Structure 1
Amino acid sequence: MPSTAEKRATFRKLHESGCFVIPNPWDVGSAKALQGMGFKALASTSAGLAWSIGKADNHITLNDVCDHLTALCAAVDLPINADFENGFADEPDGVAANVSRAAKTGVAGLSIEDSTGDKAKPLYDRRLAIDRIRAARKAIDDDRSDVLLVGRCEAFLWGMPDLKLTIDRLQAYADAGADCLYAPGLKSKDDIAAVVKAVHPKPFNLLIGWPGLSVAEAADLGVRRISVGGALARAAWGGFFRAAKEIAEKGTFDGLGTGHPASELNAIFSG
C-alpha cells in the first residue's frame, strides 16, 4: 500500500497532462472493484454515500463523510478525491477546520462547493465564496498536507446556467488557491471549451453523469479529468429496483439473472 504522501504526489502528477477518469465509488466494495479495473484515481460521491446509508443527498454529516473517507483511503492503493460538499460550514473558519479534519483521513484531493443548499439563494455571495476557498487553501498549507484543492461553482446544477458567472467564480477560486476547477452541469462542447480556456493553466474537472461525450471528446476539449458523481451508484440502484420490483409486482425472478456472477465478485474481493 502506497503511503498517503505517495498517493498525493501521484494525484498531483496526474493533473499535469492528459485526461484521466476518476469514477466515484460509494463504498469500500465498489472502490476495490474500480481499482481492479485499472483506474488511476477515484473520487467519493456524497450522493452515493448518502443513499448507501439510507439518507437523501445533502443530508449526510461531517462524521459520516470523514468515516467514509477514512475507510476508502485505507481500502485501496489509489488516490481518493473527496466530495466534501460545502465544507459542512458556512463561514470560512468552519470550512478551514473541517478541511483540516478531512485531510487527516488520507484523501489526496478535496472539493469545496459554493452552493448553500437554500433554493431561495442557491450560491454563497461571491466574496464569501472566495473567502471559503481561501480558508480551505490556508488550512491545507498550514497542515502541509499537500491535499489538492478543487474549487466548484454549482450555478448550472442549481438552475443558473450563466456561463459568465461560472467563469468569473472559477477564475476567482483559482486566484484564491484552488488547484483544480470544477463546474458540474456543463454539457455543451462550447461551454466546456470556454471554461477550460478561461481557467487555463489550471486543470478542469468535467462531470459526465449521462450518455454523451466520450473520454476522447472531452480530452480534445482540454478537459484534464472526468468524474461521474453519483451516476454509478444510480446505475447500481437501477438494477436493484428493476429486479426487486419484478419480484414484488409480478412474483417472478427473471431480473436476478442479470446479476454479476458471485464467483467473479468473490475473486475481486479475495485479495
Structure 2
Amino acid sequence: MESHSRERARRFVELHREGCFLLPNAWDVGSARILQEAGFPAVATTSAGVAFSLGRPDHDYFAEHGPAGRVDRDTMMRRVGEIAGEIAVPLSADLEDGYGEAPEVVASTISMALAVGAAGGNIEDFTGDRARPLYDQALATDRIQAARAALDAGGEPFVLVGRTDALLVGGSLDECVHRANAYLAAGADCAFVPGAGDAATIATLVRELDGPLNVVMGLTGNALSLDDLRALGVRRVTVGGSIARSMYRHLLSAARELADQGTFSYADDQLSQTDLNQLFQPGPDQTRH
C-alpha cells in the first residue's frame, strides 16, 4: 500500500474509535468527488448505485434476474479502484457477499479491495438464493474470519464490516444480534444491520452488540436525524443507494417530460456547467494513479 493510501486508511480506522459520523455512498468518481467537496471525512461505495450505473440490478434474488445480471467482482473492483484513485478522503467499499460462498473467495476479495486503495469494506451474509437467503451463521462467521486473516497477513489498516441482512429477509432482532456479535468476534471492526430504522431497534442493537454499529438511513426516508442517531450511540451512518436512486428519479422524470410532453422544464433545476467544472477541478492534494 502506498503511503498516501495508508494514511487515508489510518484516518478511516480512527473515525471508528468514538463518536458518530456520516459516511455517504457514491457510485462513480463524479459522485464521490461531490461528496468529498461537501466536506465528508470519508466516502463509501454503493453496490446498488454502481449496478444501476451499469444498467444492472442489485441486491435481489438471482432467480429473478439470473446470476449473469449481477455485477461481477472484477467490474466492481475496477470501479472501486477508479474512485479511490480520484479522491483524497478514505473510501470504504461495498463488497456485497464477497463474490463467492467460500471463505477463501471472500479473503481474496478483501485482498483485492485493499490492493485497489479501499480503506474498508463490508461483507454481508445475504446469499441471493430465496430458498436460503442467508449463509448459515457458522459459514458466515468463517467468511469474516477469513477476511480478517487476509488483512492481518497484509498488515495494512482496514476497517472490516460484518453485515447481516437478517432483518431484510424477515429474521428476528435476536438473530441479528447473534449474527452481528459472531462477526465481531470473528474479526469485524464494525457491525452493520440494514433494516434497523427506528429508535427502539437501534437502541437495542447498540446495547446488545459487542462493537460499533453502522445503520443505513434513506431507504424510504426516516424521521431520525444524525443527532438522534448519535444520541442513540450509533457509530457510523451510511445512506446506501438512496442518493443514486434519487438521482435516477430525476433522470426518469426528465425523460418522461421529454418523451410525453416535449417540454424542458426539468432544466430549470440544474447545476451550471461552470459549477460542475469547478467541483471537478483537481485540487493540489488530489490523488491520481
Tell me, yes or no, if the aligned pair for 1:2 and 1:77 is still in contact at 8 Å. Answer: no
- What residue number does 1:205 align with? 214
Sequence identity of aligned pairs in percent?
41
Structure 1 runs (4+) greater than 2 angstroms displaced: none
In 2, Cα distance between equivalents of 1:105 and 1:13: 21
* TM-superposed deviation, 1:211: 2.0
Give matches, 1:128-167, under 5 Å. Answer: 128-160=139-171, 162-167=172-177
- What residue number does 1:235 align with? 246
- What residue number does 2:89 align with? 78
SS of equivalent to 1:112: strand
Tell me, yes or no, if the aligned pair for 1:111 and 1:149 is still in contact at 8 Å. Answer: yes
- What residue number does 2:286 align with? none
- What residue number does 1:264 align with? 275
SS of equivalent to 1:3: helix
In 1, Cα distance between equivalents of 2:42 and 2:208: 25
Q: 1:194 aligns with which of 190, 204, 220?
A: 204
Q: Deviations over 1:160-203 (max 9, x none)?
A: 3x100000000111110100000011112111011111124x21
TM-score by length of 1: 0.96
Tell me, yes or no, if the aligned pair for 2:121 and 2:160 is still in contact at 8 Å. Answer: yes
Q: 1:224 aligns with which of 226, 235, 260?
A: 235
Tell me, yes or no, if the aligned pair for 1:25 and 1:43 is still in contact at 8 Å. Answer: yes
Give matches, 1:1-271, under 5 Å. Answer: 3-58=4-59, 59-160=70-171, 162-200=172-210, 202-209=211-218, 210-212=220-222, 213-271=224-282
Tell me, yes or no, if the aligned pair for 2:13 and 2:157 is still in contact at 8 Å. Answer: no
* TM-superposed deviation, 1:2: 7.1
* TM-superposed deviation, 1:222: 0.3
**Runs of at least 5 residues in structure 2 that lack an aligned partner in the other structure:** 60-69, 283-289
Q: Deviations over 1:95-149 (max 9, x none)?
A: 1122111210111111100011111210001110110110111011111122110
Q: Deviations over 1:2-50 (max 9, x none)?
A: 7111011100111111111110011000101110000001100001001
TM-score by length of 2: 0.91
In 2, Cα distance between equivalents of 1:126 and 1:159: 16
